[in-house]
Chain A
């Protein structure tokens, strides 16, 4: 310890008596690093979770393409128009898609919002009704689900791979597109923003 007590300054002075003014390189570098990293942390802190990441889509602000067909869950005819007045999440999914399985509980939560102003519609993407029914039985979800065997709905919406989802407002206008999973909390936030913004 005693040996350690001799500091670099003493040592430095002894070594180089000419260096009287202390330099501040470390201090300045630290301040510069602090500024850069502060900004970096700011970026990190304000990032939304990748789950709620919204994607660009030509459909944003446009009328959602209609979805008409028989639901595979109960065979009842369905039309997206029938859900006007509610915030609808159109969810493209497949039973073979693991992220879809992970996001399913979030969809169930969104479908069951106490406000009663939300709904979910599922559209199969490259999948058949059989496995899809098993998927719904295992992971929950009792909303209308359409088969889309020709992939026409996916084409209309510009879906590339499941899960992709579109949030449609009560007037049938597309508010947001999500590539990858969504979260109930994130959707609620968007709905709340839309309600404030639109005065609804």
Chain B
């Protein structure tokens, strides 16, 4: 019954998506408005079908319906209920089902938001693109090996192995994948509007204003998803690190880089009407990168710790990637030259100049990461040699880019639009520069070892953070002077953006500190023995066995600094003959993390237990920085302070008639420090 209803739901979703595409296509071609209005209904059908399919899969998982291959392969009675629910995104077919549900949700949200403008060709085209993407994902489930509702041939088994053991012992696994997918899939919305803008030739900034919040939403989710993924990897995998430049991590990071470039450069277009083709290209590229990332990680062409086992979805996703690429490049080639905007950047020392530099850096960043990810494939295609590209390449190549970005983050908020004067910059950068200088002096004075690059990261981080704080203080002061509440100083794109910047600085500093000052060691210990590691006293109390419903765990009791007892473990999942799964135990403080693992258990009771101890400073600030970024993104999505009427370009857009930005009167913005 689960399989039958589920499969029918997928079929219904596919037909509804196709129906929507055809109806909108006819309506647009024949200019029949009633068809365009009618096509809205399909969004609800698609959403209903996706919800039903997911509900059926969850029902099958929770009722242990092992007649479904997916449940037989990934479910298990011994698995705690919460992880049975999250098994939906524990393997390939289920994760595509989740992807489809989120896509259907976004599609319905777009249709709902623009319901009164369904006859507007821009909206109709955007909806058509969204329906097409939905149709693809339903088709993927119907016709490829990723069908979640195939049945087990013959008698269904009595029990299953449960999901991969790594996916069933940490709560982060429950929220990290949905967050990541909400981000990934969310970029479909700006993509759809960008395609619609290109097709209809509606060149104004209208489509940008429509999609600004959607893009921020997707970007915010993607940020949270990536940070949670790093956290999960740190808490679960037991190697003491949080970011390994693994292809799957890169697959999420690439669209993030591209999307970050876009949310910055889009401001240049809104204010000055420039960089239109570039912005469209960034939106299209972001979506292309999400599909490419999906292909690289799901098709098995690249070896990765996260890669799903082989299935035939590869050619399907590659075909879709080719279609998306062809549409994107074709549209830019066809329309691009007509969209080119007038105007040029007056001076490189201006806000728009800084945004341009930001974009070049992010493009370089994305290129470096993409190259590192696919380089082994390219080399193999050229001369058949097999190479691996790891952390050293990525760290070496991205470090200067990150430092430059931190520098830009510091000076860009202080730069006015159009052209900066030396005196203005001196005034605005005085406080940030002092902060940076004092930070470096303090670091040196306190004898912080580590390379020049670490010191540069701290100094530039302080520079950027101080610049952001200065902006926030000024904005709050201004809003108080205007009689608005102090909270007005942190809401809106510019102010929320500054909070995101602070989050980025926190992450950059924590990353640099953990890389430069981390220390890892392995100590063979017997019960009662103590050892000193980086100023911490580690006392090994003993080792014992614990029995759980889904696993048997060997637990070491370790006291840190005479305080609480921490329990790194190695667990055996009987359903999984792959062997023991180590689980670290971490003591986090704002200063440093002590990360304990069982490096090797005693072979006989007389043997010592080898405890792995990693001490890294500031780790907890990585996750706090992520929180800042999420919070700032949220604030940036709220409507900000009303702009002064002297700036027509930034007047709030009306739902029905987006304001076409005009070139600013010369010097209008230099005097006003609203970004």
Contacts and interface: CB of A to CB of B under 8 A. Distances in A.
Interface string B277-308: 10000000000000000010001111100010
Contact of B377 (A4, A44, A51): A44
Contact of A51 (B203, B310, B335, B336): B310
A28 B201 CA distance: 19
A96 B579 contact: yes
Nearest to A56: B386
A34 B329 contact: yes
Given A4-B202, A22-B337, A43 B381 contact: yes
A135 to B, nearest CB: 6
Contacts of A7: 201, 203, 338
Contacts of A9: 338
A162 B343 CA distance: 61
Interface stretch (A65-73, A97-105, A113-121, A151-159): A97-105
Contacts of B307: 50
B602 interface: no
A82 interface: no
Nearest 6 pairs of A and B residues by beta carbon: A26-B336, A30-B333, A96-B579, A98-B578, A49-B300, A12-B342
A86 to B, nearest CB: 25
A148 B405 CA distance: 55
Given A26-B333, A180-B303, A12 B340 contact: yes
B235 to A, nearest CB: 20
A8 B381 contact: no
A135 B577 contact: yes
Interface in B194-212: 201-204, 206
A44 B318 contact: yes
A98 B342 CA distance: 59
Contact of A55 (B277, B302, B332, B386): B386
Given A27-B333, A43-B378, A134 B340 contact: no
B658 interface: yes
B660 A6 contact: yes
B213 interface: no
B90 to A, nearest CB: 15
Given A6-B660, A50-B300, 13 more contacts: A1-B120, A8-B341, A12-B341, A26-B337, A26-B340, A27-B334, A30-B333, A34-B333, A41-B325, A44-B301, A49-B301, A51-B300, A183-B310
A125 B314 CA distance: 32
B605 to A, nearest CB: 19
A47 B338 CA distance: 38
Interface of B: 120, 122, 201-204, 206, 276-277, 295, 299-303, 307, 309-310, 314-315, 318, 321-322, 325-326, 329-330, 332-343, 374, 377-378, 380-381, 386, 576-580, 657-660, 663
A130 B330 CA distance: 61
Contacts of B314: 49
A3 interface: yes
A97 B577 CA distance: 8
Nearest to A95: B577
23 contacts: A3-B658, A3-B660, A4-B122, A8-B203, A8-B338, A12-B342, A26-B339, A27-B337, A33-B329, A34-B329, A34-B333, A37-B329, A43-B378, A43-B381, A46-B381, A49-B300, A50-B301, A95-B577, A97-B578, A97-B579, A101-B578, A135-B577, A183-B310
A53 interface: yes
A25 interface: yes
Nearest to B304: A50
B307 to A, nearest CB: 7
A187 to B, nearest CB: 13
Given A12-B340, A26-B340, A50-B300, A101 B333 contact: no
Interface of A is mostly: helix
A173 B343 CA distance: 70
B386 A53 contact: yes
A180 B203 CA distance: 51
Nearest to A45: B318
Interface string A161-200: 0000000000000000000100100000000000000000
A9 to B, nearest CB: 6
Contact of B340 (A2, A23, A56, A95): A23
A30 B332 contact: yes
A152 B378 CA distance: 36
Interface of A: 1-4, 6-9, 11-12, 15-16, 22-27, 29-31, 33-34, 37, 40-41, 43-51, 53, 55-56, 95-98, 101-102, 131, 134-135, 138-139, 180, 183
Contacts of B122: 4
A26 B332 contact: yes
Contacts of A22: 337-338
B577 A139 contact: yes
A44 B381 CA distance: 9
Nearest to A37: B325
A95 B578 CA distance: 7
A30 B329 contact: yes
Given A8-B340, A8-B342, A44-B295, A98 B377 contact: no
B341 A47 contact: no
Given A4-B202, A25-B337, A47 B658 contact: no
A41 B318 contact: yes
A30 B336 contact: yes
Contacts of B577: 95-96, 101, 131, 134-135, 138-139
Contacts of A50: 300-303, 307
Nearest to B339: A8
Contacts of B321: 41
A7 B663 CA distance: 15
B251 to A, nearest CB: 14
Contacts of B277: 26
Contacts of B381: 43, 46-47
A32 to B, nearest CB: 10
Contacts of B580: 96
B658 A43 contact: no
Contacts of B303: 50, 180
A47 B578 contact: no
Contacts of B322: 41
A56 B312 CA distance: 26
Nearest to B311: A49
Nearest to A42: B381
B204 A4 contact: yes
B183 to A, nearest CB: 24
A45 B377 CA distance: 11
B657 A3 contact: yes
A122 to B, nearest CB: 15
Contacts of A12: 340-342
Nearest to A8: B203
Contacts of A1: 120, 657
Given A41-B318, A98-B579, A134-B577, A47 B340 contact: no
A157 B318 CA distance: 37
A181 to B, nearest CB: 8
A30 B310 CA distance: 34
Contacts of B658: 3-4
Contacts of A16: 342
Nearest to B200: A4
Nearest to A13: B342
Contacts of B341: 8, 12
B302 A102 contact: no
A23 B318 contact: no
